[in-house]
Structure formats: structure tokens, C-alpha cells
Amino acid sequence: MPEITGEHSNSVSSMASSSSGGEELSRNLFKKYELGRLLGCGAFAKVYHARVIRTGQSVAIKAINKQRIVKGNLAANIKREISIMRRLRHPHIVNLHEVLATKTKVYCVMEFAKGGELFAKIAKGRFSEDLSRKYFQQLISAVDYCHSHGVFHRDLKPENLLLDENWDLRITDFGLSAVTGQTRQDGLLHTLCGTPAYVAPEILAKKGYYGAKIDVWSCGVILYVLNAGYLPFNDTNLMAMYRKIYKGEFRCPKWTSPELRRFLTRLLDPNPNTRITVHEILKDPWFKKGYKEIKHPIDKEFEFKESSEEARYFNAFDLISYSSGADLSGLFDYRVNSEMFVSDESPETIIEGLEAVAEEEGMGVAKKGMGVRLHGQNCKYVIMVEINRLTEQLVVVEVKSSGFGRDLWQDKFKLRLNHFVYEPQPQVSGH
């Protein structure tokens, strides 16, 4: 189905299901993952099934070609999607476990959805009302969580809903998603995006829209499809279909219960000002039947690891910050500075020195093991320092920085901490 899009959706999370076969591969990645069959491919990336060597756990790995992303001016899209996915940890959202990088590739390691696409199940026949309600409840639980974190998906459809090994729903493909900070001064989003049959009327009006309201509309279309087995707004003529969407003209099949008819009418209200909200959905009698609220989604630590082309990677530091406002420029910035020096000071003394300079520069500090991560306001730049024991008396200090962080290390930290550098004393021979 064609897509309306002002932003390219070569997403991190798409194709992370088991629905396609293909090329058989078996190779070791970072001495951590064994790559298996090809699940899918696009213009900029390939997605593979993989196995965690240590545990045997299945994952999906998307290998993104850096050069093609940079040439296509799509680095910002990929960075935004990674930034969004790494802060969303919910039982009904595909988890992004970690990001690994070499000079030429970015590898996104994701949860593997064994059950494939929900779309493939609907294609075999409509669901019962109870089963439709179950999946709609899981969908709304995840959408509510996203909205509470300032994230709007903007391309919800059955093709972007996967099923895990327990046949529970997982939202995927955040390639067209937006965050609260992307709104204009009018508080609205303006990018024309989505899939025609699922797009909200206000997007077609091109006057700006609220991300939360268009997600609710798409959820309404999904619920209709689950119950009916076909689309509420459909026409071989695209403009005719848009007219139906704009007017909210649809008919429920005869097997639809009165309660569900009423609920669908509220979801597919063409007026965004009177359309039901997520908060109201959670209170609706039809929706609430058998609903179990997820109060505390599990947060898992997200990791980013940078590697050389020979698959060595540094196990302590992120060029991507753990915070929601991180700058991901390190992903596609080839000018990452890396240097090391030897010191006879203790790791604790070195870290104290780093903290002192960071405090003067107004930087944040995060300690992890024998290392420290220094970041500027809103994590716009990052300096990472890892300390490893060389001998009982000596340590090796490795520093990685990029962007403004490189200049700050050279101009401030390096000058102030120069006395930490170990200089062997010349041997004096006796006569």
C-alpha cells in the first residue's frame, strides 16, 4: 500500500519479525551474535535473525549502511528513531536492546517477534470481538505509554504490529514517529505522513494536527479491521477514499455489537476536537471488559557500543546518552577522537580530577565502574573516559570524544589533568 510521507521511513524497527525467509547466513558479529537468515531488506539496511552466542536467545539485528544514510540525508531520521526507541520500555513495544557501530555500519539489536505480523493473521480472517478487544487493549496500553513519554507513532497499522511467542502484541516501526519538541509555535505537528487508509482527516486538511489525536484515529481503524476483516475507508480511487475519511463515512458489519459500534463511532470521529481521547478510551465500558492495566512497565538498561571494523568494542561507554534528550551525532560522525595515556594515579584520583573540571564547565557526570561519562547540557556533547589497570602501579586511561566534546577535552580537561600523565624517570647509573 502506498504511503504519504514527508519523512523517509527506513526505520530501525521495521521487518523485525519472522515473516520472511531468504538468504541463509551464519557469521559471528562482535563475538556476541551469530547471524542467521535474512528477514528483510531495504535501500539502506538489512534485517537478520540472530542468536546471542552466550544464551542462545533469538534477536533481530538491523544492519544500517552509514554511507547510504549520510548520502540520502537520512541520518537525522535514524538518530531520532533510535533516540525514541531506546527510551520506550513497555511489554507491548518491540524493545531495542543495544546499538553497535563500526566505521561503515550501525547494528540495531532488537527483540525478535516470533509470531510475525498481526496483518498476516487478519488476512486469514477477522477476529472475534473478544480477541479484537484483547489486542486493542494491548495497543492502547502501549500508545498511552508512548504519549505519556511525549512520543507519537504517526503510522499505526496492522503491518506495524507484531506478535511475540505468546501471541501478545508488539508495536514496531517508529520511523515516522514524532516527539513533543517537534511541534511548531502553534503546538501542532505539520508533517504529512502515514499510510492512506489509516491517515486521520486532519492530516489531509494540512492545517496542523495533534500527534495523540491522529494515533487514536489510526487505532480506531485497526480495531475496525480486527473486527470486520476489511478497512472502514477503502476505494480504488485514492481521492474518493480521502473524501470518505474526511467525512468519516463508514459502515460497521452486521455482526458488530451495539457497544462496539458506538465505540468505533467515537474513535473514528472526523472532528479531532470531539474525538475520544486515550484517557476516555481507558474508561469506556466496552474497552474496560477484562482489561488489566500495566502500571509499571519494566525499564531495562539500554547500551550503545562503538567498535573498530575488526569487531573490538569498548564495553563501558555510550556515544549515545541514556537520557531522553541525547545527541546521537556520534552514530554518523566519523570524526570521533580517541586517545590514551598512562598514569600512576589511582582511578579514584583521576575521576575526582575529571569531576572537578566538569563541575567548573557545568557538565553532568555519570560514573560506571572504572570510568566516567561527561556530558554537556541536554547531552549535546559527550566525553567518555575509561580506566583499565595495566600493572599494580599503572593504569591506562582511554578518552573518546566527538563534536564540541573534542575541543573541550583539548582546551580544558587535557591541560588541567596533564600532571596525571605518567613520565618514567630516567635511570641514573652509579660509578
Residue 134 Rama label (left phi>0; alpha psi -120 to 50; beta): alpha
For residue 247, CA distances in Å to 202, 271, 301 come to 11, 9, 45
Is the four-CA dihedral 323, 12, 48, 307 of positive or negative sign? negative
Out of 144, 155, 269, 318, which one is annotated catalytic?
A: 155
- Using alpha carbons, select from 314, 331, 321, 201 the residue that is nearest to residue 268: 201
Active site residue 155: yes
Q: Are 109 and 99 in contact (CB under 8 A)?
A: yes
Q: What amino acid is encoded at 275 in this protein?
A: R
| 365: phi then psi, degrees, rounded to nearest 5 | -130, 130
Residues catalogued as catalytic: 155
